[in-house]
Amino acid sequence: MGRCPSRTSKLKRLKPCCHPRVAVYGLRSGEVRRLLLDDIDWRAETFVVTHSKRGGSQLYPLRRDVGNAILKYLTKARPRTTCRNVFVTLRPPYRSLNRSTLYCIASTHLNRLGIQCPKKGPHSLRHTCATHLLQQGASFKEIGDILGHRKTDSARVYAKVDLNALRTVAKVSLGGLL
């Protein structure tokens, strides 16, 4: 990806709403970009995501902190437009955010937090979400269901990063079985 502009008002205005959404739910950048205003049910405190890879849709609970961040963006930062995407460009022609803008939001935020990781885009936040779920004891099936994977095996990639769990397994005595 290209270099992100430093401290632009555009990124500062979008960061509070886009970053928590990607990080908390582990959504793919395309799922965030395609989220529509009608996908959010404020009364039921839920939202629907149309999955990028597997197709179909999935209902998620809308966490209060994420809902508040989106509401703040909708009322204070999002331009008035007929575009139905939740997250839109700040200048006409108004349309859904592109992949590079989401990458800049994520990487800028991670850099400001001093987080060192090889890749700093939205997918690294998705990976972090899955790793956190694994550390909390979620099964690969549960992680795959939350992330919208078709196959349970797709979630197994997150096992390789759980070094603490692997170290624990390595310490287990096999009691002379070998």
Locate 42 and state its tokens.
């404020």
Listed range (16-20, 143-147, 157-161) with the worst mean pLDDT: 16-20
Q: In this structure, what are the phi and psi dihedrals at residue 49, rounded to the nearest 5 degrees?
A: -115, 130
> What's the chain's length in residues?
178
* 171 band by pLDDT with thresholds 50, 70 and 90: low
Q: What is the pLDDT of residue 102?
A: 82
149 belongs to the catalytic site: yes
The SS3 call for residue 51 is coil
Among candidate residues 19, 21, 120, 126, the one labeled active-site is 126
126 belongs to the catalytic site: yes
In the chain, what are the domains?
Answer: 9-170 (1.10.443.10)
**For residue 15, which amino acid is it?**
K
pTM summary value? 0.71
Among candidate residues 12, 53, 54, 95, the one labeled active-site is 53
94 belongs to the catalytic site: no
Q: What is the C-alpha separation between 105 and 20, in angstroms, rounded?
A: 11
Is the pLDDT at 34 greater than 60, yes or no? yes
